[in-house]
Every structure is written in structure tokens, then in C-alpha cells.
Structure 1
Amino acid sequence: MADARRRLACAALLSSPLLVHAALREAIVRIKPSIVVVGTLMRSRAPAFELKGTGFVVGNGTLIATNAHVASVKLDDEKFEILSVLAQVDGKPQIREARIVASSPEHDLALLQIQGAPLPALALGDSSRVAEGQSIAFTGFPIGSVLGFTPVTHRGIVSAITPIVIPVDNVSQLNAPNRNRLARGSFPVFQLDATAYPGNSGSPVFDPDTGEVIGIINMVLVKAGKESVLAQPSGITYAIPASHLAAMIAAQR
């Protein structure tokens, strides 16, 4: 009887809000050095660096994961606009030139190669084991062009695991890209109850207990499929499972 009471007391302690918040605080400390701003650099422009979205360091420390639509920006070659990332290195901002080495429009994911010394990389978790109701957090640069380039963390849960495109009664309600996607076959994405904002695209979704990345915030591809029939898109946030990113990284080895 005493042993049962001790086990119940330990279980209650492990699930206490204080320990849950402590785990998240520790995870944020580990995550933040790996979060970068993905943007473009044009030295004749003021400001010279312009945010396009969020990215995070993976693999050997010189690869940056982000959304394909964030990385595939139209550059002004005549004005020497360069795809770049802005990272914090030893507490100081550092701009690194970048180039796209892999892209998956199907999953709206891209890998960038950056110049210079490796940065601390994040570990990828097993996204196939993610369950509805699971706690998550994501870190990025919401409205960074206005609020500044300080990494911001939001937390919530996986509220649903759902197909990227929802079939409708009338196919005419779908745009051409979504009709093509349904024809090729859908894949599951994570629906989150935490709100992402412009600038969060490409943010890593991670397990607060382990710090492992289980998904990538997507503000374009998924919303186009899930909310294409809505006159006013909702504030729901979606993430691409990290398994698709893991496959891209493996192909680079």
C-alpha cells in the first residue's frame, strides 16, 4: 500500500506544472542557438537584410531547414541580392550566405547550405510516433520585420493529425494545385492549437521534454489545401511532419 502511494506521489510530481515548465525552459535554451532568420541581403538596401521566414540548423551544422516557399525568393541579381541567413553566434548577429541544395515543393521544404563554421544542429524526432493531445512548442520570428529578430516560442498541443487536403462535395471548390494534390495522394499533417504568424513559416515544432524536432510550421502549402474554400482563413496552425525533412537530409549524405 505504501509503495502504491509512493508511485502515485512520484507520478503527480512528474506531471506537475512546475516540472513541465522547467522542461520547456531548458528546451528553449537548447533550441534558440539553432534558430536562424532566412532572408535576403542587399547591401544597397536599408535595412540591408530582409526577413522571409524562419529556419533551423540540422545535419552537420551547415544545413538550414525551412519552407521551400521561404527559400525560393526571387532575387534581384542586378542589385546583388543574396539568399542569406542571420544567426546569433556567441551573442552577436552574423549573416551567412546560403544556397538551396535540396527542395521538395510537394512538402514545401528546403535545405540550405551556409558558409562558415558549423552551427549547433537540432535533432529530429520520430514524427510517426506523434499523438493527438501531445504537448508541443515552436520557436521562430513571428512578424519579425516589425517585432525584431528575437526568437519567440509558442506552446500548445497537437490538436489533430489530419490529411493535408480535405476532399469537398464539389471539386470545383478546389483550386488546380489542390486537385492535383488529391490526384497524387494526400499525406497527414499536424494541426496545432497554438497560433503562428507571418515570419513563423519554417519554425521547428519540437517536443518540450526532449527538444527533438517533430515538425515544421507551414503557413502556405497546408493552409491552401485545408482552407481553400474559406472566404477568411482561420487562425489554425499546421506543421509538416519531420519525417519528410529527415528523408531530405539523408539524401544529402
Structure 2
Amino acid sequence: MKVVPSPLTRWLVAGAALLLSNVAAARAGLPDFTDLVEQTSPAVVNISTVQKVEGKKILPHGWKLPELPDDSPLNDFFRRFFDDEGGGGAPEHDARSLGSGFIISEDGYLLTNHHVIDGADEVIVRLSDRRELKADVVGSDPRSDIALLKVDADHLPVVKIGNSDKLKRGEWVLAIGSPFGFDHSVTAGIISATGRSLPSENYVPFIQTDVAINPGNSGGPLFDMDGEVIGINSQIYSRTGGYMGLSFSIPIEMAMEVADQLKKSGKVSRGWLGVLIQDVTRELAESFGMERPYGALVSKVLPDSPAEAAGFKVGDVIIEFDGREVERSGALPPMVGRAKVGSDVPVVVIRNGKRTTLKVNLGELPEEEEMAAAGGGKAKTSADRIGLVVSDPTADQRNEMELGDEKGVLVQSVEEGPAAHAGIRPGDLIQRINNVAVEDAGQFAKLVAELPDDKSLPVLVLRKGSPLFLALKIGKE
């Protein structure tokens, strides 16, 4: 007897077939990383460092050694283990840390992050074949967080160098590294954004991804689907210390430029314009006669700088640098930094509502100490949390404000945010925040990053010579 399926049965069978077909198609559309991992893993290395740490006095601060008779056998014990003058304290020990890296030449040159090897007395590179080789630090650059290492070996596997300029949001990428010491761990994700500027890093246009990166991944490669390195995994955004979906990588072009300079001279030279800048808000754009907010607003022209010689003025809005559009203020420092020192560069600004082109001869970016003396090198922005740009006051500013030995950071600009709501103004000297004395701009940035949410915090400012407490409150994001 022939069974004829009902219309409902035929519809269910057809639906099931369509669903299975769609699942198969979806699976077929997902990337397969197996060949890529097999081809690239041999050139990825584990990096371990050893740093000699001097013993510290064990006796708590403010405590004194007990007064004992001269012939007491405990005198030698306390002097040996608790007294600085007696050389006491915990014995010297080794502090160890882990990171990742990758080989860029067959004769043993490797790239990693500066913070992976910073302060290390010994750097050991473990290859994929489990060989362990001592590495020499050829050079290291804190501003870009790049370090170039060299091991004594030949015919090593190397990575292919790609091009991060061609990256598009949504593109698949893959990372290989040693998170928490687990060698050659593979994680994958997509490009979230390019050209990201971070508050603590002025000269790197970071690649943002959602690739899982954790401690130990630092310095490892970020690959595209062609198996080419397009970035160096460097930072994560986290409130817990672990991965939270936001990872940042240094573009490989910048890393290779830095490596080339480190190899040739052991240091990195960057272009220098000599201005303090900030973003253009909607209200500021309207006041400058601009149709929309974009560009980098010059809030200060540093004395004896290339910008001063070229005729830059406070209030200029830089919209183009060497033919490249400046959409936000954070995009300008990497452009200037990568430009050749001594070159003549056209810069387009909006001044009094009109476009003006200035020709500037770029200088070499001074060391941070020299920049701080000029009033612009150690400016730190914490706009993502409280909306401030601050700097260490210069000698002239300290004299003008009659600061004497008083410390603090000078408010350069205030953006919309908790600081503005608290009443903090440009020109204020912030001396204490959350009951902690402010020493300098670097320490201030760390203090701000650690401030609790949803709690009123006291801020002591010096305004026109008079101290003033303000209440700062950071809302939960």
C-alpha cells in the first residue's frame, strides 16, 4: 500500500531540510583557522624575564626596634632582618614575568612589548621546538611599547609581515600567545575599530579587536586570515585585570619602523610640532564657524617649538597634516610622530573661520623631562573618566602661581563630564584627589583610573592662590 504524506508532513520535511541546509551553509561560511595556526605557530615564542629585586625592610613604617641590653643575643637578629642600617630586610629575590613575541628574521631578531622586558636582568626566549635561548635587548621604546630582541641562532622560522592599513571592521583576526603561561594558545575574533587613541598612549593608533587577550599575551602577534602579522597585542581594557572584550594591538607598520630605528641606532626619533591640543566640541565648532566638530584645537603653542616658528596660534583648529585629514585630536600625535624629523610639512588650519595652510619644519620630539619643562610633554588626558587634560606645571608657571614646594597638576582643559560638573576649571591646580596627594601628571592618571564609581570624592584645588574643596562623582558606565 502506498502511503501519501499529508501536506503538513511534506511542509515539516521541507522545513527540516531547509534548516539543515542553512546550518551547513552557515558552518561552511565560518573561518577555518587550523592551517593558519599550523603555518604561523613555529615563529611565535614565549618570553620569560627575571629581575633582581632588593630586599625591603620588614619592620612596618613608623615602628621602632626595641631597646635591648647590649649583650642581648636578639640584637644581631633584629639588626640583620629588620634594620636598614644593618642591611636587614627580606633577602634579594628574583621577580619573574611572562610574555609573548615573534621572530621577524631568520638570524634571530624578535619583536615584543617594551613592558614585557622593562627592567629585566635576564630575558629567556622559548621557541616552539622547546629550545630556550638567552636574548639580548637591542633596544626598547616606551612611547610605542615596542622592544627588539636578538637571540644567537640561525635558520629560524619567521612570520610574514602584513599591512594593517587595509584592515576593515568586522574582519576576522587571530592571536597566538602565552596567556598565564599557557604556550601557543590561540584565540580569534574580529576587528572592532582602527586608529584608536588611548589616554595613556599618544603616539600609537591602536587596532581594537574582541580577540581574547590576557596577561602573557602581551607582545604576541595578531594575524589576518592570510597568516600575516598586522599587529602586536599590547593592552586590554579591564576593570578586573582579565579580558572583558576590548583588546588593543599596535599596528605592525609602526612596530617595524620602530624596530628598524632601534636596530640602527638603539633609539627612536619622532617628529615634533610643539602644541597642546584638544577635541573640538559641537559648541566650539559653532564658535569657530565650522559646520561640524572635527580637527585638533590648539590650546597652547610651546615656546621655541616648530609650531611657534611656523606661526601657529592658540585657537587654530588643525584639520589636515601633510595631506591627511585630522578627524579627532587623538589622530594628530601619531601622524606627527611618524613624520620625518627635519621635513617641511603642510598643515591646514581653520583660523577665524577660514582655511589657512602653514608650512612647518618638524623638530625631534624631546625627552619627557624636557617636554615637561616646556609645559607639554607629560600632559595626560583622563577624559574617558572625568573629562580633564592636565600637565605638570612648568618652572615659569610655578613661579607665577607662587607654588614654592607645593605639588599638584595644572588643569589645561575641561571637557563635559564629572570634572566639569564638580566645578573644576582650566588653570586650577589639583593638589589632592580622594584624600591622596597628587605628585605629578603620571600619578594623577593612575589615581583617576582607580577612583570608585557612584561615590562623592573630595578634590582639593588651588584657584587664584586660594584652596578650594570640590565634590567629584563618577557615575557608573
With normalisation by structure 2, the TM-score equals: 0.38
Q: Where in structure 1 do 4 or more consecutive aligned residues deviate above 2 Å?
A: 15-22, 48-51, 162-166, 230-234, 248-253
Q: What is residue 233 of structure 2 aligned with on the other side? A: 217
Q: What is residue 136 of structure 2 aligned with on the other side? A: 99
After superposition, where does 1:241-252 map in structure 2 within 5 Å? 241-251=251-261, 252=263
Aligned mate of 1:154, from 175, 178, 187: 187
Q: What is residue 190 of structure 1 aligned with on the other side? A: 207
- Identify unmatched segments of 5+ residues in structure 1: 1-14, 43-47, 76-81, 167-177
2:224 partner letter: D
Task: Report deviation, 1:124.
Answer: 0.9
After superposition, where does 1:1-253 map in structure 2 within 5 Å? 17-18=27-28, 20-22=30-32, 24-40=33-49, 51-75=97-121, 82-89=122-129, 93-144=130-181, 148=182, 150-166=183-199, 178=200, 185-208=202-225, 210-219=226-235, 235=244, 236-251=246-261, 252=263
Task: Report deviation, 1:61.
Answer: 4.2
Q: 1:108 and 1:218 mapped to 2: Cα distance?
A: 8
Task: Report deviation, 1:83.
Answer: 1.3
Which is greater in Rg?
Answer: 2
Q: What is residue 171 of structure 1 aligned with on the other side? A: none
Overall identity of the aligned pairs, in %? 26
2:46 partner letter: V
Task: Report deviation, 1:191.
Answer: 1.0
Which structure exhibits the higher relative contact order, with contacts defined as CA atoms closer than 8 Å and separated by 6 or more residues?
A: 1
2:256 partner letter: A
2:48 partner letter: G
Q: What CA RMSD, in Å, does the superposition of the two structures yield over aligned residues?
A: 2.8
Residue 148 of structure 2 aligns to a residue whose secondary structure is: strand
Task: Report deviation, 1:248.
Answer: 3.0
The 8 Å contact of residues 83 and 97 in structure 1, kept in 2 or not, is answered as: yes
2:37 partner letter: I
| Residues 231 and 94 of structure 1: CA distance in aligned 2, closer, same or farther (over 3 Å) | closer
| Residues 51 and 31 of structure 1: CA distance in aligned 2, closer, same or farther (over 3 Å) | farther
| Residues 49 and 26 of structure 1: CA distance in aligned 2, closer, same or farther (over 3 Å) | farther
Task: Report deviation, 1:31.
Answer: 1.1
With normalisation by structure 1, the TM-score equals: 0.68
Task: Report deviation, 1:151.
Answer: 0.6
